[in-house]
Chains A and B, each alone.
Chain A
Amino acid sequence: QKEVEQDPGPLSVPEGAIVSLNCTYSNSAFQYFMWYRQYSRKGPELLMYTYSSGNKEDGRFTAQVDKSSKYISLFIRDSQPSDSATYLCAMNRNQGGKLIFGQGTELSVKP
């Protein structure tokens, strides 16, 4: 079993929809949680970073962490075609910067 599980999709939504992306993890030692966005043939870029359980909002994006359930989510409001990309969750322990990634969810937002 992988340490981080993420539904690979693909997920297709109409423009303006609310998108929900999720990851589960098995290791309670994970303390820091990130969402990266990766466009085709590009490197991942950091979207959101959270530490504690709860919600964190940045514009149209909201990251949610539930450590008791070992479950993290990313919500995208008013989705745009430019949001079409692969979304990767990532997390790490208190051991420096080594990141453990999920498989990635491929999102397509149709105009």
Chain B
Amino acid sequence: GAGVSQTPSNKVTEKGKYVELRCDPISGHTALYWYRQSLGQGPEFLIYFQGTGAADDSGLPNDRFFAVRPEGSVSTLKIQRTERGDSAVYLCASSLRLTNTDTQYFGPGTRLTVL
């Protein structure tokens, strides 16, 4: 079956601009996660959703970052007033349920470059 998909695969923007990154989880998965991976580093947790609600947004670095999942499926990560330090690969993952033992399946990521 189809895995997690993310669009766009690459996004180049200028400092100060607004960007939206989209994640389509595996069908039927109730939990959705966003991570950020900087070059040479492991993924860093940003936020996760159970259904439509954000269960934990403690990893969002500041109020320029916001994520939504209005219908409990597709999610959008929104970044306002982008900064060069926001450049990274943004990974989305989904799992069947929100438990410690449910496997998180990752998408290929969106590579964001802020000039």
Contacts and interface: CB of A to CB of B under 8 A. Distances in A.
Interface stretch (A11-19, A66-74, A76-84, A98-106): A98-106
Nearest to B106: A43
Given A43-B4, A96-B56, A97-B98, A102 B42 contact: yes
Interface in B1-59: 4, 31, 33, 35, 40-45, 48, 50, 55-56, 59
A41 interface: yes
B103 A94 contact: no
B62 interface: no
A88 B93 CA distance: 15
Given A103-B42, A104-B41, A104-B42, A97 B100 contact: yes
A41 B45 CA distance: 19
A99 B101 contact: no
Contacts of B98: 96-97
Contacts, number: 74
A88 B43 contact: yes
Interface string A33-46: 00000000111111
Interface residues of B, number: 30
Nearest to B111: A41
Name which of A42, A100, A101 has the most chain B CB atoms within 10 A of its CB. Answer: A101
Among B59, B103, B107, chain A packs the most CB atoms within 10 A around the CB of B103
B37 to A, nearest CB: 8
Given A44-B91, A45-B105, A94-B100, 20 more contacts: A6-B42, A32-B100, A43-B4, A43-B106, A44-B43, A45-B106, A46-B105, A49-B101, A49-B103, A51-B101, A88-B42, A92-B100, A96-B31, A96-B48, A97-B48, A97-B95, A97-B98, A97-B99, A101-B35, A104-B41
26 contacts: A8-B40, A41-B109, A43-B4, A44-B106, A45-B106, A46-B104, A51-B101, A88-B42, A90-B42, A95-B56, A95-B100, A96-B48, A96-B55, A97-B31, A97-B33, A98-B33, A98-B59, A99-B33, A99-B35, A99-B45, A99-B104, A100-B45, A101-B43, A103-B42, A104-B41, A104-B42
